[in-house]
Amino acid sequence: MMGQDNNGKSGRVIPISDTVILPGVTSILRLPALDEEELENLKREDNTNIALPLKQNFGHSQLSEEDFYRIGVSFKLEEAEQTEKGWRIKIKARDRVEVNSIRIEYGGIYAEYDFSPDEIDLNEKSREEMLSYIKNFTREFSEKYTRSEQYGGADQYLKVFEELKDLNSLIVYISQFMPLSNGEKYELLETQSLKERSLKFMDYLVKLKETVELQFQMAERFSEKANKYYRESVLREQLKAIQEELNEGKEEGAKKDKDYLSKIEEAGMPIDIKNAALEELDKLKTQGPNSSEYNVIRNYLDLLVQLPWKKSETTPVNLGEARRILDEQHYGLDKVKDRIIQHLAVMQLKKDKKGSILLLVGPPGTGKTSLGKSIAEALDRKYIRLSLGGIRDESEIRGHRRTYVGAMPGRIIQSIKKAGETNPVMVLDEVDKLMAGGYSGDPASALLEVLDPEQNNSFTDHYLDLPYDLSEVFFIATANSLESIPGPLLDRMEVIQISSYTINEKFHIGKNHLIPAILEEHGLTSEQLVIADDVLQKIINEYTLEAGVRGLKKQLAALARVTSEKIVSNKAELPYRIKMEQLEEVLGRQISRHEKAESDNPPGVVTGLAWTPVGGEILFIEATDMTGSGQVTLTGKLGDVMKESARISLSLLKARLPINTFNFKERDIHIHVPSGAVPKDGPSAGIALFTALASLVTGIKVDSKIAMTGEITLRGAVLPIGGLKEKLLGAQRAGIKKVLIPKDNAVDLKEVPEEVRNELTIIPVEAAEDVLRETLGISLPRIEHVFGQKAFGEAILQV
């Protein structure tokens, strides 16, 4: 051990950190370890002990000469006490020293040094003024803290520093309560001039005061919610710092990395996906928790390990059970059920069948979405529904790039993640309501890859950025109309048409399905509420106007709510029976205003048939004439196609029907279709327009119980139309007895319920002459699409 040598100036070094130590000041130091020999050496008066600051907080075994600052203080050991965490020693700093060299031996750390005492460049008066200034500043500063309960115990510390009479002692005492860095604390010791040291310390105080004042101003401006968020963020930062100090943060991060590694191994990913996941995990290990990329990578890894990658086991399809479930949950729809059963049978035979993509098309409320749920139950698979109505952004389908803030995967991948299986039944609801592409891309085009059996085994979501196999997913799309679905998208799906329900079907659906469901939803039983068959029939006929049964369910729910109120308030005897006369009181006036066949139609008035989204209806074609100059007026908010049909009908009438009593040159003709505020278009009113004009010019009435539908051409041919089933249902409801349809539509009659066919006399027609014969009783020879004066003359002579 070296003794104190004024010529050699060698001494033993005690490393210190995070402490302000100045000459002449008594300080407390904490040492991690101290054996008996070292303690005795520190106590010896003939040894020089030097407290030398470290640049960073290092363990003793890691120290080298470069880790020390060059300015320290010699000291005398006054007290030494052993604690649970090491030694607590009390020292009296003596002189400021400058270390020239350091050597580290097994026995300790030694330094060659020179004395470098403080420059006392303040006289007595200046020291007193500086001392008073620092105390006053600190006193004012501390009052800002003692106003809050958090710092309410500061008074006892203020009493101590009031008694201090030495600048160095005051600086050391106050600095222990200030958030100074190691470098800032060393600068106070490094500064040799007492005046400059005091001024530097004042700079630290002013800087701290400005920081605190700024925090107080921010706290006053922010709302309570913002303050709470700010406090939480500060606490999180402090917690992170504490964890890093205790090495807990690294352990927790290592644990998370280990968890991700085990999840990746257990996920059953394909080898290329697994390699990509491991690369992302390596990136995560290099990122700190405060890095902007840290949470982005973690969210991406969470998606990778939560997506189902292992092929799900496919349960064999029991066609009998599937038929039972479909029949139990849906009344009617026999053709649709047969088509679905056939599709399931093919899936069963061909295990790797691709192209399991159905499109159910029909009016609202006809059970398209619930059919998808029933199919999922029949296949014993998870059911997922995606509502596509109103989506205008391609990224909703394919996701966002991870480079964007707030990026997330598209709805397809999110749904697969939610299902947790690779083979769910996924219903793409309202696929016809997708918005047209704009600056955000075209979502309908994004669906092309999803619904293409040849491509969806490697579907790439922008966020996932890796191929995902969708070939096992059973996609079922629904739509109300095919018109707005792009051709390429429609080509990828197998269309199953679901038509409107007949009144009889609605009755059975209401009785067997809706009423039990409504009773259960409202906490009622069949012993508490009774809805008779005639009441249900009246609700269907007069209080609903729809192709499906969604409106019927709402009306039944209204009856259930009224019943619930009466039962709870003890105003009803059980069972409570809904009476016919109560419907208007509970449901209001009837909302169904179906047109009814008139008892008599004057010449020029004919009954036509129309298709609407809520079912078929009859409409009246009215024609009248007046003195004029041969002009034709069309009213009733008719579309261009319907206007053209009217002009074609008039031209055909002039060409085919030899009439001597009607002067077209001196008479104006006005054609009107009532419900003038409702837009009407389409070619299917062609033969009705033709018949109305023929009735007008001949003066022959058309039977009011006859209705007709069909497109007519300039050569007199009757062409097929769509929506025949709905139109015939509307005719039956309106009291029509006889219906003219195009001959080419006769094959569609098998789709019409037998009850409707039995009540209507349906006559197929193929030419204008057939129409005149059935409606006006006029027999004309068939002119097989021949034009010219000679043909017309021969026809007139034959008549």
So which residues are the catalytic ones? 684, 727
Task: Report angle CA 208, 211, 216 to the nearest 5 degrees.
Answer: 125
- Long-range contact set of residues 453-459: C-beta below 8 Å, sequence gap at least 24: 453/354, 453/355, 453/356, 453/357, 453/492, 454/354, 457/354, 459/412
478 is in an annotated binding site: no
Residue 625's beta-bridge partner residues?
Answer: 669
Residue 89: in which H helix or E strand, if any?
strand 86-105
691 is in an annotated binding site: no
> What 3-state DSSP class applies to 29?
strand
| Residue spans of alpha helices (H) in 617-685 | 640-656
Burial zone of 543 (CB within 10 Å; 0-12 exposed, 13-18 middle, 19+ buried)? buried
Q: Are 80 and 87 in contact (CB under 8 A)?
A: yes
| Residue spans of alpha helices (H) in 471-544 | 487-490, 503-509, 515-521, 533-542
Q: Give CA–CA dist 506/733, Å, rounded.
A: 13
Strand 71-83 with 86-105, pairing: antiparallel
- Letter string b/e over residues 384-404, b meaning 16 or more CB atoms within 10 A of that residue's CB: bbbebeebebbbbbbbbebee
| Residue spans of alpha helices (H) in 147-270 | 155-162, 167-175, 182-190, 194-221, 224-245, 248-266
Backbone φ and ψ for 170, nearest 5 degrees, come out as -65, -45
Task: Report angle CA 319, 320, 324 to the nearest 5 degrees.
Answer: 115
Q: Give CA–CA dist 537/531, Å, rounded.
A: 10
Q: Give CA–CA dist 204/251, Å, rounded.
A: 36
Q: Are 407 and 399 in contact (CB under 8 A)?
A: yes
Tokens in use for 218?
Answer: 């921010």
Quote the DSSP letter at residue 195: H
624 is in an annotated binding site: no
Burial zone of 282 (CB within 10 Å; 0-12 exposed, 13-18 middle, 19+ buried)? exposed
- Letter string b/e over residues 586-612, b meaning 16 or more CB atoms within 10 A of that residue's CB: ebeeeeeeebebeeebebbbbbbbbbb
Residue 386's beta-bridge partner residues?
Answer: 428
Q: Are 650 and 693 in contact (CB under 8 A)?
A: yes
364 is in an annotated binding site: yes
Residue with tokens 């001959």: 743
For every residue of 420-482, DSSP letters joined together read: TSSS-EEEEETGGGPPPPBTTB-HHHHHHHHT-TTTGGGEE-TTT-SEE--TT-EEEEEES-S
152 is in an annotated binding site: no
369 is in an annotated binding site: yes
Strand 459-460 with 667-672, pairing: unpaired
Q: Give CA–CA dist 646/682, Å, rounded.
A: 11
367 is in an annotated binding site: yes
Q: Give CA–CA dist 407/529, Å, rounded.
A: 52
Annotated binding residues for ATP? 362-369
